[in-house]
Amino acid sequence: MKATIAVLSGDGIGPEVTAEALKILKALAERHGHDWQFPAAPVGAIAIDRTGEPLPKATLDLARGADAILFGAIGDPRFADPSHKVRPEQAILGLRRELGLYTNLRPVVTYPAIYDASPLKPELLDGVDIMVVRELTGGIYFGAKTRTADSASDLCSYTRPEIERIVHLGAKLALARRGKLTSVDKANVLDTSRLWRAIVDEVMAAHYPTVTVEHTYVDAAAMHLLRRPADFDVVITENMFGDILTDEASMLPGSLGLCPSASLGAGRLGLYEPIHGSAPDIAGRGVANPYATILSAAMLLRHSLGLETEARSIEAAVAGALGDGVRTADLRPRGAAASTVEAGNAVLARL
């Protein structure tokens, strides 16, 4: 198979973890006879340094022409002040908007060998396998904003088509999994959530009558993710709720460094990235956890290239490395830890 995979490694630990995912992808391409190209371009703070823009036109053009995008991380302490007119984070928002990436898939899976890395009791972690479907281009993040010296506002708005496409995707995923869909909202307070809930009920009744549907307020969902996480199958929710809940859910496996993501649109092009940030405090030290980026590469193979066998081989290799005790520092707060490269090599060896 021929494919172009754009590599936007970004800032901080982004280049380090992306390098390990690339190592795995290149090994699989050689083993299975695929012809994959990996052109790279700057994005985020490094792009601002070079061009003055977080998402240069050349980077956007590369992303548009690719079959998939492997993304590292963006962010730099120099731009921590949110009043900066140009910030690295604008790049990822721009990519989502320009490429029509309206859905974010965030799987949360626990690994028995590292239950001790999670703050939850081991008995709560058995069987946890959650797929969060987060709406990505609507809601309060993209609504109209106002600001004066004494007041500010952020508009949260959703339309029927924006909600319907998330419900359809979530329901199809549920049909292929355990047949349960949990819709998270705040319908006791927000009109956008009332619309969300009504459309969920309409779509599910008309098209997916065999899927079990549960409505949960976002505050209750936050509690139940810690109290009964194994009860969740597919979770659909709006942009901000999904952003917050998936960071909380990352503590189930034990670290943000274990959680991949896929940002998808109507076609096969997708952007694949770990849910963690650029972690400038550990950048360049070779201690970052590459597993989430490697697992994001598995999602890339599954959703953009349709290579389920190769995707599963990566996921099994990561599970094998963790099962054999190859832990990076975030998973081993005490004692010797594997470096970024050692963790990547452990996955490569187990392919």
Q: Do 244 and 258 reside in the same domain of the chain?
A: no
Residue ending a domain, choose from 251, 278, 308 = 251
pLDDT tens figures, 52-102: 999 999 999 999 999 999 999 999 999 988 778 899 999 998 999 999 999
Looking at residue 89, its pLDDT comes to: 92
35-37-38 Cα angle (round to 5): 145
How many structural domains compose the chain? 2
pLDDT tens figures, 185-216: 999 999 999 999 999 999 999 999 999 999 99
Looking at residue 333, its pLDDT comes to: 67
Residue 330 DSSP symbol? G
Q: Do 257 and 213 reside in the same domain of the chain?
A: no
Among 141, 180, 217, 231, the active-site one is 141
Q: Do 88 and 177 reside in the same domain of the chain?
A: no
Domain-located, residue 318: yes
Q: Report the alpha-carbon distance of residue 42 to residue 233 in Å, rounded.
A: 36
Residue ending a domain, choose from 191, 222, 251 = 251
Domain-located, residue 122: no
Residue ending a domain, choose from 251, 277, 310 = 251
pTM of the model: 0.94
> Is 243 an active-site residue?
yes
Do the Cβ atoms of 86 and 22 come closer than 8 Å?
A: no
> Is 219 an active-site residue?
yes
Q: Do 133 and 225 reside in the same domain of the chain?
A: yes
Among 129, 154, 201, 243, the active-site one is 243
Given a cut of 70, the residues of the chain with pLDDT beneath it are: 333-335
> Is 247 an active-site residue?
yes
Q: Do 218 and 173 reside in the same domain of the chain?
A: yes
54 phi and psi angles, rounded to 5 deg: -75, -25
pLDDT over 70 for what percent of the chain? 99
Among 76, 186, 208, 233, the active-site one is 186
Domain-located, residue 334: yes
Q: Do 238 and 257 reside in the same domain of the chain?
A: no
Domain residue limits at 102: 1-114+253-351
Which amino acid does the sequence have at 343? A
Q: Do 244 and 260 reside in the same domain of the chain?
A: no
CATH number, domain at 215?
3.40.50.2300
Query: In which element (H, E) is residue 345 found?
Result: helix 340-349
Looking at residue 81, its pLDDT comes to: 84
Domain-located, residue 123: no
Q: Do 167 and 228 reside in the same domain of the chain?
A: yes
Among 49, 126, 219, 324, the active-site one is 219
